[in-house]
A and B are shown apart, each in its own frame.
Chain A
Amino acid sequence: MSAKPFLKIDHVDKIFPLGGGKEYVALRDVQLDIRQNEIVSIIGHSGCGKSTILNLIAGLDSITNGTILLEDKHILAPGPERAVVFQNHSLLPWLSAYQNIEMAVKKVLGEELSNSEIRDHVMKYIQMVNLDHAKDKYPGEISGGMKQRVGIARALSIQPKVLLMDEPFGALDSLTRANLQDHLMRIQMQTGNTVIIITHDVDEAVLLSDRVIMMTNGPEATIGEILEVNLPRPRNRLELQHNPEYLRCREAIIEFLYSKFAKEDE
């Protein structure tokens, strides 16, 4: 790739002050270039610093050393061009599914769009996640999988440059999770979004990603290996079952997580 990286994480350290003069070095010298339209997953044992990296990209936490650049612009604060899908959906419970998305659209695109255009725009993203029938339901009235679909629709509706997802399907049962993975792959093919997704599920990482970023354990966690997944899209989980490339990737990740960087207390 000769093109400039879309998102550049450059020699980033993250040190948390712990009080009493102590500190915890969560990340040390993380370097990663991400291309436009790429789906990258970050995998690693719990506590290794996956969420920390995502929060730094989102701008929700401050970088201790180094820089993160999105299209050559420094990331210093949160912004709608880097939408986040949180693990626990974080929908506002006093707004319906429709209103949750509408609120985001009004804030980010409200000045460019007329009222009827806002309506159409919100409906487009509700339809994208197949939730027409539940659009007027409140978060408390729909299942975990549906909530997460609303969360994804809300994140995509503000047309971010990068979609950041922190274990978005971690709290869901495996059938719902498979269903949402398929939704995500289909939507990403339509929209061409750049997606960074954190996971601790090996199959999810291989299925979804163009590249899998494997992290070493903390403290001073960093990127251990980067795995290219050379599988054509659209991908079908049934056909992949016995695909040699799929199995190779799976083995490489399992080798990394459970042999090279095994964690005893898990």
Chain B
Amino acid sequence: MVSKYVNPVLLPLLLLGVIIALWSYIAVLIPGFPTPGEVWSELLVVLSDPIYDNGAGDQGIALQLGNSLARVFGGFALAIAVGVPAGLLIGMSKNAYAAMNPYIQILKPVSPLAWLPLALFVFKEVNTTAIFVIFVTSIWPIIINTALGVRSVSEDYLNVAKVLQLSPFERVFQIILPVAVPFIFTGMRLSLGIAWLVIVAAEMLTGGVGIGFWIWDEYNNLNYSHIIIGIILIGVIGYILDALMGLIADFFDYRKRGRV
């Protein structure tokens, strides 16, 4: 028998107790490893003044996170601007698919970080480089899911468009996009998740301001509490980003509005 009653508050709290116990044990084993208590009090300090700015290399945590988010959204927005039209084209034209698919398949498995040195050489500037890396990260899931959405438009709907003699423009906006939009949002949600993973590593390599570099910098400062704080904050923000994208995606999905 599986019990039906699940406690969504008590169970995570119980597990938290286990985690803190294990963590404390590790802190005893490894000299210098911050204890849960130390991290907690440091977290309060870090969060108490999140937007101070003492010039390059010494800024509040909110500014660090804000810089990372700005880069992620910059690259993400570019990827949407390029990826959605490209995906529509590939989904609607067999020739466009034949032309572009081999390159997508080859470029998709390349770690976005492999582009970083090349981007740095071309742009000679870290901010643009990071945005470009996020662009390369985000574009593949958006293209692929948009094309998938277009191809999942049923033949019946397209026949309706033919009988009504819709123009190509009307066909895209009245038939194809309503079907494809939920797929596009799935792609965007995937992209944003990976982009948030990649930005941390990219910033460690490029330096400057940003949560990735902040963590690396604290490693060099031997401030291990801050590394753990960084990990926790990255996780919380990643979770919030994903939940927000989920809400937006549901809003644009006709199937999720009681209209199955």
Contacts and interface: CB of A to CB of B under 8 A. Distances in A.
Interface of A: 58-60, 77-80, 82-84, 86, 88, 90, 92-94, 103-104, 107-108, 138-141, 158
A140 B165 contact: no
A103 B163 contact: no
Given A94-B259, A140-B259, A78 B178 contact: no
B159 A90 contact: yes
18 contacts: A60-B163, A77-B162, A78-B162, A79-B163, A79-B165, A84-B163, A86-B156, A88-B156, A90-B160, A92-B175, A93-B254, A93-B259, A93-B260, A94-B178, A107-B164, A107-B170, A108-B164, A140-B259
Nearest to B174: A103
Nearest to A86: B156
Contacts of A140: 258-260
B180 to A, nearest CB: 12
The 4 closest A-B pairs by CB, nearest first: A94-B254, A90-B156, A138-B259, A140-B260
A174 to B, nearest CB: 24
Interface residues of B, number: 19
A117 B94 CA distance: 41
A66 to B, nearest CB: 21
A107 B154 CA distance: 20
| Chain B binding surface, main DSSP class | helix
A90 B153 CA distance: 11
Given A90-B156, A140-B259, A78 B163 contact: yes
Contact of B160 (A77, A82, A92): A92
B26 interface: no
Contact of A80 (B163, B174, B254, B258): B163
Contacts of B96: none
Contacts of A138: 258-259
A45 B162 CA distance: 28
Contacts of B258: 138, 140-141
B178 A92 contact: yes
B160 A141 contact: no
A261 B223 CA distance: 88
A158 B166 CA distance: 14
B52 interface: no
Contacts of B259: 93-94, 138-141
Nearest to A103: B174
A86 B255 CA distance: 22
Nearest to A82: B163
A22 B192 CA distance: 48
Given A86-B156, A92-B175, A93-B254, 17 more contacts: A60-B159, A60-B162, A78-B159, A78-B163, A79-B163, A84-B163, A86-B159, A88-B156, A90-B154, A90-B159, A90-B160, A93-B259, A93-B260, A103-B164, A140-B258, A141-B259, A158-B164
Given A78-B165, A92-B175, A141-B259, A84 B254 contact: no
Interface string B245-260: 0000000001100111
B118 to A, nearest CB: 43
B157 interface: yes
A146 to B, nearest CB: 14
Nearest to A58: B163
Central interface residue in A79, A82, A84, A94, by most chain B CB within 10 Å: A94
A80 B165 contact: yes
A158 B163 CA distance: 11
Contacts of A82: 163
Nearest to B177: A94
Contacts of B156: 86, 88, 90
Contacts of B165: 78-80, 107
Central interface residue in B154, B164, B165, by most chain A CB within 10 Å: B164
Interface in B144-164: 154, 156-157, 159-160, 162-164
Contacts of A141: 258-259
A90 B157 CA distance: 6
A52 to B, nearest CB: 14
